[in-house]
Chain A
Amino acid sequence: MSDIVLQFENVAASYNGAIAALHGISLTLRAGEFAALLGANGAGKTTLLKAASNLLPAERGRITAGQILFRGQDVTRATPDDHIRKGLVPVLEGRRLFKSLTIEENLITGAVAKGRSRAAVAADLEKVYAIFPRLKDRRTSVAGLTSGGEQQMAAIGRGLMADPQVFLLDEPSMGLAPLVVAEIFEALSALNRTTGLTLLVAEQNSAIALRHAHHATVIENGRSVLDGPAADLAQRADIQASYLGGPTPLHPVRS
């Protein structure tokens, strides 16, 4: 089908040529879709997203079988910056802001790959500040000294500065308060609705991801085990119990 933008076909991957992280994951992402990639710690979500942006070689990993196609092209044939110029933009797990740079400088680094003019960058900054007004107040703060929520917003903003068509986000909810998580997912949903931005969001927080996503894929131990409309998956209690850690315990244990 022509509207498929990103396709994972039986992808297997390993690090250092020895440590296997993925054992065959298939997933199809269509233009304009908000898709969720669900799974517990160590399921392979992060590896899969890094593989899509061809970031594995930088961590001595590689795709060992199957392939990932971005608009029909094998992703391993282009460099990470090529992918960004073509609109495939990753937001890494754990924010990974440049801690010694200010929030605004962090945002600008997102626009460098595209080599846009200063005027275009200034206009895009305003767009990001409109989505996350808190960042505007913190624009001159050193990123390492801002709160986790502000850092996550800045990390997403940095990705938006590259003008993505397909946005790959790795655990935007990590370590954040529920209200902040809700704010971030609302913003992502709004972007998806108003601009048609295609989203693939890896999450452990399945409740919030399934509430906003159209489609979800569950992976476990490096394999895709379930796939379907988010609304259907949200209904099935057995999924929650077997793959996503079950209902919230009374005394949550933090890992």
Chain B
Amino acid sequence: MDWFAFLFFIEVTIGGLLSGVMYALVAIGFVLIYKTSGVLNFAQGAMVLFAALTFVSLTEQGLPFLAALAITAAVMALLGLTIERAVLRPLANRSPMTLFMATLGLAYVIEGAAQLIWGTAVHRLDLGISNEPFILGGIFISTFDLIAALIAGVMVAALTAFFRFTRTGLAFRAVADDQFAALAVGLRLDRIWAAVWTAAGVVALVAGLLWGARLGVQFALSLVVLKALPVLVLGGFDSVLGAIVAGLLIGATEKLAEVYIGPVFGGGIEGWFAYAVALIVLLVRPTGLFGQKLVERY
């Protein structure tokens, strides 16, 4: 491989890793809820869209960035609380399939509501982050993707610290481990679920802003869930770390495959390649790379 081909390879890999962070960002929202309540929240994508639309509409009304951010965060927290209270609590103890169907329906209700309130037009979202690539040792790197990755990194660090060092975080992990035992120990499941849905709402906001700035705020934004699913299968549905590693892996392999294997198929394999990878992983490791293995002595 000559030098330029090598640089190109590195550039594609870095570009892939950075977009992988964006996938992980959406996947983490799923993981938070799945881990603590066993619900695969299909509405996460709709929440991403709802957050982006709310934010962009508020700024278009002339609100300053920070005010719009604060209001949207509050709206997302409220949305999360409402979903937990109105949809999931009445369905507690039902089968996982019932809960999944409920969130599927919820996804459409939220998408519909978002468009009813804010309209169906495509909005441009400018976060004030430069879109100019910078050049490092002959490699083009997208400034936007790099900053997005940093923001995602800070969020993940904050979440990890929260789980490790606070009592609420400890309660989260306990509930994720054994729900009935958590109830018997006196942990308030309803409060924990409310907190988790609030957190998922805020994660959706961060994802919504970054994805919205990248793709434009539009209906298709809710389809980012389709990018998150293979990441979840690969990383395990209950591991934040897994979501990150799998996001990076899928982001990189997807881009590399598109560039190097794509021409063999006539291009356009980026869309389905992640699913092919996820399928193979399912065959070999059904719980994903980092999914919870039973910690037990025999």
Contacts and interface: CB of A to CB of B under 8 A. Distances in A.
Contacts of B178: 96-99
B170 A108 contact: yes
A144 to B, nearest CB: 3
A110 interface: yes
Interface residues of B, number: 22
Interface string B176-192: 01101111111110000
Interface string A119-159: 00000000000000000000000111111000000000010
B185 A109 contact: yes
Given A58-B93, A100-B292, A109 B174 contact: yes
B171 A80 contact: no
Interface stretch (A66-74, A84-92, A205-213): A84-92
B173 A81 contact: no
Given A144-B294, A144-B296, A90 B174 contact: no
Given A142-B295, A147-B297, A112 B177 contact: no
A153 to B, nearest CB: 15
B173 A98 contact: yes
B176 to A, nearest CB: 8
Contacts, number: 87
Interface of B: 93, 167, 170-171, 173-174, 177-178, 180-188, 292, 294-297
A31 interface: no
A112 B187 contact: yes
Interface of A: 53, 55, 58-60, 80-81, 83-85, 89-90, 92, 96-101, 105, 108-110, 112-114, 142-147, 158, 162
A98 B185 CA distance: 11
B295 A81 contact: no
Contacts of A96: 178, 180-181, 184
A80 B190 CA distance: 12
Given A99-B296, A112-B171, A80 B93 contact: no
Contacts of B93: 58, 60
A110 B174 CA distance: 11
A108 B165 CA distance: 12
A84 B174 CA distance: 17
Given A99-B178, A101-B173, A101-B177, A145 B188 contact: no
8 tightest A-B CB contacts, nearest first? A113-B186, A144-B295, A84-B186, A96-B181, A98-B177, A81-B186, A99-B295, A98-B174
A96 B218 CA distance: 47
Nearest to A99: B295
Given A100-B177, A101-B177, A113 B295 contact: no
A112 B185 contact: yes
Q: Which among A60, A92, A142 has the highest number of chain B CB atoms within 10 Å? A: A92
